Each structure stands twice: as C-alpha cells, then as structure tokens.
C-alpha cells in the first residue's frame, strides 16, 4: 500500500537536539548530533550496528544523560527536568522496543488495560473498554481480545505491543528496530501499520532501523548516523544518491523491492 501524504508542521519541532555528545570510557559514540523531529513526521534513523542508535533513543527518553548538548522533547529540556516531570513526559511518548514484551500470563485485553489502569486514575470501565477496542481495531486484531500472547504469531505480538503503546494516546512514537526478526511479508505489514498509526493518531515518530525497505516505506525523512554524526539527511533517494563508500555498501547489501 502506498504511503499517504504526511501532514508535517515544519514550524513545530516536537524533538529538538543540539550538539549532543555521549562517550563511554574512551569511545565517542555521539560526536555532536543536531536533529529536529517535526510534528506529524516519520523520521528514520539509519545506521550500522553499534553506531549509537539505541544510545540516542535512551538519551531522548531521559534514560541516559548526555555529556554535552541539549535535548528538548515536547518543549521540555529532558536533561534538566525532575524525575517526576520526566515520568509525566514519558507517558506522552510511546515506546515500541524489541524487548517490550507482553505479559504472558495476561490475555490481550488485560495487557492493553494495564497501562491505562496504571496511568489514568479514575478511568471508568466503559472508557477502558472503548480504548481497548479502538487500539485493537487500529492494529487490525480485534478478534484476538481474549487470546493469550502465546497463541499469537510474532507479527501479531508486535502489533499488540504497538496497540499497548497507542492506548495512552502518545504524541511521539519511538520505534526501535520494528521489523527485526520478522519475515519479509510481516515486515511490510508492520511498515504499513507504522504509516497507518501516523495518519490515524497524528503521531510524530522516530524509527530506528537498518532495514532499508522499512526506511523507504515509512520515512518522510532519513537521517544516516555515521561516525557519531548525522552525515546524510534527506529523503530516501537523497540520502542514497551518493558515491560515499560508507553509504553505498549499506544500500547494495540490502534488498530493495
């Protein structure tokens, strides 16, 4: 399915990163990163293993502190806010991480209810039911409501994980390797879901991947992390229209439809 036109507000950066630096011992992972994520945008961060993509996500979500630089998320400086403010901010961000596993002992319904009950004090039973039904419909899995996670395929579990994130109506989605470990057809379905989420929930997203089909299908803009900095940023075609020997192999060894 072709990606629908995105409604991006370039005057409104929901994430704004300036001169971000992070080292571990004597390894400089991020060496001065500048990046804006605009309202409504799907931004793909591409990079080889070990280039610092996960470190970047951890810095944005306040799980790591930078050595230098600033990170503003939804107008808050995450390097300077209190733990309580950080917690409140995190509720406005949906994390779709590889390890965001479902609770195996709970049905799909209970898995989806969990974040609501925990974070929305005073929510009524009928509001919970409506929210669960809405997100399950959004990920196309209404029929699984009473199933256990063990009865679902890998792709279905990934979808339910995304639904569980969507149930709190996040303004920003962070997808870490959304297609890792899935077969090619399921990968394409997840890419389509990422685009549907963007349209239906008006989210702004960072999608971390080294899957170029994912990058091409979902990204309004691609930022390529090389040697600790974003060396190339633009549309998919712009990023790969180069003879740069650090970029070309990345393209050549991926299968593009």
Q: Which residues sit at the interface with ligand ATP, rule CB under 6 A?
A: 24, 29, 47, 49-55
Shortest distance in whole angstroms from residue 53 CB to ligand ATP: 4
Minimum CB distance to ligand ATP, residue 29 (Å): 4
* DSSP symbol at 17: E
**Gyration radius from the chain CA atoms:** 18
Alpha carbons 189 and 207: distance in angstroms, whole number: 15
What minimum distance in Å lies between the beta carbon of 100 and ligand ATP? 15
Using alpha carbons, list the distances in angstroms from residue 147 to 143, 152, 200: 9, 8, 25
Ramachandran class of 124: left when φ > 0, alpha when ψ lies in -120 to 50, beta otherwise: beta
The number of beta carbons lying within 10 Å of the beta carbon of residue 242 is 14
- Report, in Å, the least distance between residue 180 CB and ligand ATP: 9
Q: Name residues whose C-beta falls within 8 Å of residue 139's C-beta, 6 or more positions apart in sequence.
A: 159, 160, 162, 163, 166, 193
Task: Please report how close the Cβ of residue 34 comes to ligand ATP at its closest, in angstroms.
Answer: 18
HSE (CB half, 13 Å, CA atoms) of 198? 28
Give the residue carrying structure tokens 């009473």: 146
């Amino acid at each position: 399915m072709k990606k629908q036109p995105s409604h991006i507000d370039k005057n409104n950066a929901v994430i704004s990163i300036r001169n971000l630096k992070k080292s571990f011992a004597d390894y400089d992972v991020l060496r001065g990163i500048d990046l804006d994520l605009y309202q409504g945008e799907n931004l793909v961060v591409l990079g080889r293993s070990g280039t610092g993509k996960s470190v970047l996500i951890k810095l944005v979500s306040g799980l790591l502190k930078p050595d230098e630089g600033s990170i503003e998320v939804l107008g808050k400086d995450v390097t300077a806010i209190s733990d309580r403010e950080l917690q409140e901010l995190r509720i406005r961000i949906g994390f779709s991480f590889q390890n965001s596993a479902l609770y195996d002992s709970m049905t799909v319904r209970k898995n989806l209810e969990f974040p609501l009950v925990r974070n929305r004090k005073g929510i009524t039973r009928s509001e919970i039911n409506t929210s669960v039904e809405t997100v399950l419909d959004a990920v196309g899995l209404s029929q699984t409501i009473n199933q256990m996670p063990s009865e679902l395929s890998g792709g279905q579990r990934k979808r339910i994980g995304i639904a569980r994130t969507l149930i709190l109506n996040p303004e920003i989605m962070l997808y870490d390797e959304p297609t890792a470990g899935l077969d090619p057809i399921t990968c394409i379905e997840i890419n389509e879901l990422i685009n549907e989420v963007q349209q239906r929930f008006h989210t702004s997203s960072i999608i971390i991947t080294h899957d170029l089909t994912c990058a091409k299908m979902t990204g309004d803009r691609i930022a390529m992390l090389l040697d600790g900095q974003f060396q190339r940023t633009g549309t998919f075609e712009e990023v790969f229209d180069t003879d740069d020997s650090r970029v070309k192999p990345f393209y050549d060894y991926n299968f593009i439809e």
